[in-house]
Amino acid sequence: MEITVKLFAMFRIGRFAAARKQCEPGTVPADIANGLNIPEKDIGIVLVNGRHARLDHQLSDGDTLSLFPLVGGG
Amino acid sequence: MDKILRVDMADLSTRIEAVPAEWAGLGGRGLTSTIVAAEVPPTCHPLGPSNKLVFAPGLLTGTPAANSGRLSAGAKSPLTGTIKESNAGGTSAQMLARLGIKALIIEGAPTTDAWYSLHVSMDGVAIREETELIGKGNFAVIEAVESRLGKKTGVLTIGPAGELKMTAANISVKDPDSKIRSHGRGGLGAVMGSKRIKFISIDDEGAPKVPIADPEKFKTAARAFAKALLDHPISGEGLPTYGTNVLVNILNEAGGLPTRNFTIGQFEGHDKISGETMHDTIVARGGKHKHGCHAGCIIQCSQVYHDKEGKYVTSGFEYETIWGLGADCCVDNLDDIAVADNLMDDIGIDSIETAVMFGVAMEAGILPFGDGKGIIRLLKDEIGKGTPLGRILGGGAASVGKAYGVTRVPVVKNQGIPAYDPRSVKGIGITYATSTMGADHTAGYTIATNILNVGGFVDPLKKDGQVELSRNLQIATAAVDSTGMCIFVAFPALDIPECLPALIDMINARFGINLTGDDVTNLGKQILKTERQFNIEAGFTKEHDRLPEFFKTEPVAPHNAVWDFTDAEIDEFWNF
């Protein structure tokens, strides 16, 4: 299946802002993070299609996964 | 801090008083709200002689505690008609604390057309007539006061907006670079203007260090506190790198970024105004992506933004301002927004109220959505000059809505709603509705837990848990606002167990007392109840704790969320 992965703030450094990724059904955000060398402990916010999700959320074809480090406030 | 300074602008007299016993344990917002509630008739006209303008440093201000240099300013608000406290960084708070001034209370109003300034020093406070600087912008005032009295002089000033008593007028505070921080919301600049005070200068020459009862205990607690601030990813890394503007992309992804006067939850141009873009632009142009608003700030969430030629444009370039003039007004040009930010500093007008106002103004047809240059022109030529249109615009979002027959006016208790849509971030909607000060995001910043996963997680799209979340945060915030601490210490305080005890230990070591966590919670509750009681006597009822009608009936994309709390559910907030 194909998903869109969006990275923000420091996660973009040495990686990308947005990219399409092919992955197996049953892939979860933790798998995507591992594949990008993003340590789980650095992840602040996980959004799937704009809603908060857990790292073990089952992704579906066409989903948008957004990953943010712990940043922000104001 | 052992004295109260009183200034009577009716007979131009000043007094130095001892601190009454019942005020001894208070500081910051706890003190300003107590004084306003005790001494200001709740039904008075906020621009009349019975209102009082109270400045108070926090309980820890002036000590070596990190991030403790905030000043509280309080009065009855001319914008909302409620009680109001606003706190700001800058250089004044620590100077007042070192001078031993627990509160500066300004009462009465002159009966002549003269203007004045106040000068605060080791000798007390003096009232001086002022002519040269009347009508001048805040930057000119700061420059002139430094040239008259010395570069280290502290300055609190109002711009033309405050002189003209516009209800969106703020009070500006000189920062360590002689630029500006703001007591932004609630129209306190108009109150200072109604007392015909153009600026307050502060000279702390000869002031001793702030006394600490148990220096060893203080040092240990201060070290633990600072460590927590630096260890937490938000206060230690995120904020100094990206500033608060990192929130643009976060709220945009979550569908809570109010766009086009609160009609959509996402903005097409978000990337051009994001924190990431701002960071890269600042670095490329030789500005500073991290910057502190007061001495002793180790979070450094502020920044210095330069233009293409590398010249200073503005500093303290906040998420709310960029969201408002950006997404809410559909302007995707960060340079235009920066110029507007600096103009608002100079004119002395709240950047949140003014941004929400421009969204309503665009819906009213005064200028087109997306017209960044038009915003700059209206600021300079209308608001800055006090033309009749400028006075309507300078009255804030509700003022423009009323004058132009707009129904989509995002305000609570007449104050503009900030940068988080309450339909898709329901916790902040409860804060907007119930805060004693009108639509106020910092009063109980549920964004931390609704969006940022700080202090746990409460789903922003569901009603469950929001009232309790907002209540706990509003109580805690009222207490923190009394210490002189920057509210961003809340991030580590919510996640790192050592942080809050260290803060309490510092207060105990400073005064030689024994407060517990429960005492701090009770302080917060007490402050909220005092404020609410003032509002009730001013004529407010539970019917004012509501969001505008359109939030219930207009779903906001992409989640198509509406504001669906019943009145009874909202009113649960006050069950404590």
As a whole number, the mean pLDDT across chain B is: 97
Indicate which CATH number applies to the domain containing B229.
Answer: 1.10.599.10
- Cβ-defined contact of B461 to A72 (cutoff 8 Å): no
Count of CB pairs separated by less than 8 Å, A with B: 97
Is B560 found in the same domain as B481? yes
CA–CA min distance A9, chain B (Å): 6
**CA end-to-end span of chain A:** 37
Q: Is the pLDDT of residue B147 over 80?
A: yes
Determine the Cα–Cα distance for residues B169 and B161; give it in Å rounded to an integer.
Answer: 5
Contact B375, B331 (CB under 8 A): yes
- Cβ-defined contact of A74 to B318 (cutoff 8 Å): yes
> What are the residues facing B495 on neighbouring strands?
none
CA–CA min distance B31, chain A (Å): 24
Indicate which CATH number applies to the domain containing B141.
Answer: 3.60.9.10
Is B276 found in the same domain as B248? yes
Residue B564 CA to its chain's centroid (Å)? 28
CA–CA min distance A30, chain B (Å): 17
Is B546 found in the same domain as B399? no
**pLDDT given for residue A70 in this prediction:** 85
- Cβ-defined contact of B275 to A9 (cutoff 8 Å): yes
Q: Is the pLDDT of residue A73 over 80?
A: no
Determine the Cα–Cα distance for residues B117 and B145; give it in Å rounded to an integer.
Answer: 11
- Cβ-defined contact of B451 to A45 (cutoff 8 Å): yes
Determine the Cα–Cα distance for residues B494 and B228; give it in Å rounded to an integer.
Answer: 11
Chain B's closest residue to A51, CA to CA, is B254
Phi first, then psi: give them for residue B100, nearest 5 degrees.
Answer: 80, 15
Indicate which CATH number applies to the domain containing A15.
Answer: 3.10.20.30
Is A14 a member of any domain? yes
> What are the residues facing B124 on neighbouring strands?
B121
The Cβ of residue B410 has, within 10 Å, a number of other Cβ atoms equal to: 26
Query: For the segment B300-335, what is each residue's pLDDT rounded down to a tens digit?
Result: 999 999 999 999 999 999 999 999 999 999 999 999
Nearest to B253 among A10, A42, A50 (CB): A50
Is B521 found in the same domain as B462? yes
Nearest alpha-carbon partner for B396 in B381, B412, B385: B412
Contact A63, A48 (CB under 8 A): yes
- Cβ-defined contact of A70 to B234 (cutoff 8 Å): yes
Beta strand A2-7 with A18-22: parallel, antiparallel or unpaired? antiparallel
Dihedral of alpha carbons B442, B446, B451, B455, sign: positive
Non-local (6+) Cβ contacts of B550 within 8 A are B262, B407, B408
Going from the C-alpha of B107 to that of each of B83, B441, B444, the distances in angstroms are 16, 29, 30
Is A74 a member of any domain? no
Mutation target among B248, B250, B252, B450 for the A interface, most CBs of A within 10 A: B250
Determine the Cα–Cα distance for residues B66 and B72; give it in Å rounded to an integer.
Answer: 17
**pLDDT given for residue B126 in this prediction:** 97
Non-local (6+) Cβ contacts of B474 within 8 A are B431, B434, B435, B443, B444, B524, B528
Is B349 found in the same domain as B228? no
B301 contact residues in A (CB cutoff 8 A): 74
The Cβ of residue B76 has, within 10 Å, a number of other Cβ atoms equal to: 31
Is B429 found in the same domain as B351? no
Nearest to B234 among A17, A50, A73 (CB): A73
Domain assignment of residue B40, given as a range: 3-202
- Cβ-defined contact of A73 to B445 (cutoff 8 Å): yes
Is B358 found in the same domain as B371? yes
Kindly list the residues of chain B whose beta carbon comes within 8 Å of any beta carbon in chain A.
232-234, 237-239, 241-247, 249-250, 253-255, 275-276, 301, 318-320, 445, 447-448, 451-454, 457, 459-461, 488, 491, 558-559
Structure tokens at B54: 């109270």
Query: For the segment B536-546, what is each residue's pLDDT rounded down to a tens digit?
Result: 999 999 999 99
Indicate which CATH number applies to the domain containing B283.
Answer: 1.10.569.10
Q: DSSP of A15-73, one letter per residue?
A: S-SEEEEE--TT--HHHHHHHTT--GGGEEEEEETTEE--TTPPP-TT-EEEEEES---
Greatest Cα-to-Cα distance within chain B, rounded to the nearest angstrom = 62
Which of residues B419, B452, B474 is at a domain's end? B419
Is B117 found in the same domain as B172? yes
Nearest to A71 among B246, B460, B559 (CB): B246
Contact B324, B410 (CB under 8 A): no
Please give the ipTM for the structure prediction: 0.94
**3-class SS string, B72-111:** EEEEECCCCCCEEEEEECCCHHHHHHHCCEEEEEEECCCC
Query: For the segment B327-381, what is each residue's pLDDT rounded down to a tens digit?
Result: 999 999 999 999 999 999 999 999 999 999 999 999 999 999 999 999 999 999 9
Is B207 a member of any domain? no
Average pLDDT over residues B255-280: 97
**3-class SS string, B209-273:** CCCCCCHHHHHHHHHHHHHHHHHCHHHHHHHHHHCHHHHHHHHHHHCCCCECCCCECCCCCHHHH
Is B167 a member of any domain? yes
Nearest to B276 among A8, A50, A51 (CB): A8
Name the pLDDT band for B392 (thresholds 50, 70, 90): very high
Residue B284 CA to its chain's centroid (Å)? 30
Phi first, then psi: give them for residue B205, nearest 5 degrees.
Answer: -55, 125
Chain A's closest residue to B237, CA to CA, is A71
Is B363 found in the same domain as B235? no
Q: Does A50 touch chain B (CB under 8 A)?
A: yes
Structural domain count, chain A: 1
Is B460 found in the same domain as B386? no
B456 contact residues in A (CB cutoff 8 A): none
Query: For the segment B423-482, what is each residue's pLDDT rounded down to a tens digit?
Result: 999 999 999 999 999 999 999 999 999 999 999 999 999 999 999 999 999 999 999 999
Which of residues B419, B436, B460 is at a domain's end? B419
- Cβ-defined contact of B452 to A6 (cutoff 8 Å): no
B241 contact residues in A (CB cutoff 8 A): 9-10, 71
Query: For the segment B509-555, what is each residue's pLDDT rounded down to a tens digit?
Result: 999 999 999 999 999 999 999 999 999 999 999 999 999 999 999 99
Going from the C-alpha of B408 to that of each of B86, B142, B238, B359, the distances in angstroms are 27, 38, 34, 10
- Cβ-defined contact of A69 to B319 (cutoff 8 Å): no
pTM of the model: 0.97
Contact B114, B93 (CB under 8 A): no
Q: Is the pLDDT of residue B1 over 90?
A: no
Contact B420, B251 (CB under 8 A): yes
**pLDDT given for residue A72 in this prediction:** 65
Nearest to B250 among A12, A51, A68 (CB): A68
Determine the Cα–Cα distance for residues B76 and B45; give it in Å rounded to an integer.
Answer: 9
> What are the residues facing A52 on neighbouring strands?
A47
Is A16 a member of any domain? yes
Domain assignment of residue A50, given as a range: 2-69
Q: Does A66 touch chain B (CB under 8 A)?
A: yes
Structure tokens at A7: 């990275």
The Cβ of residue B360 has, within 10 Å, a number of other Cβ atoms equal to: 29
A6 contact residues in B (CB cutoff 8 A): 253
Is A54 a member of any domain? yes
Q: Does A52 touch chain B (CB under 8 A)?
A: yes
Is A29 a member of any domain? yes
Is B152 found in the same domain as B299? no
Average pLDDT over residues B100-128: 97
Is B219 found in the same domain as B183? no
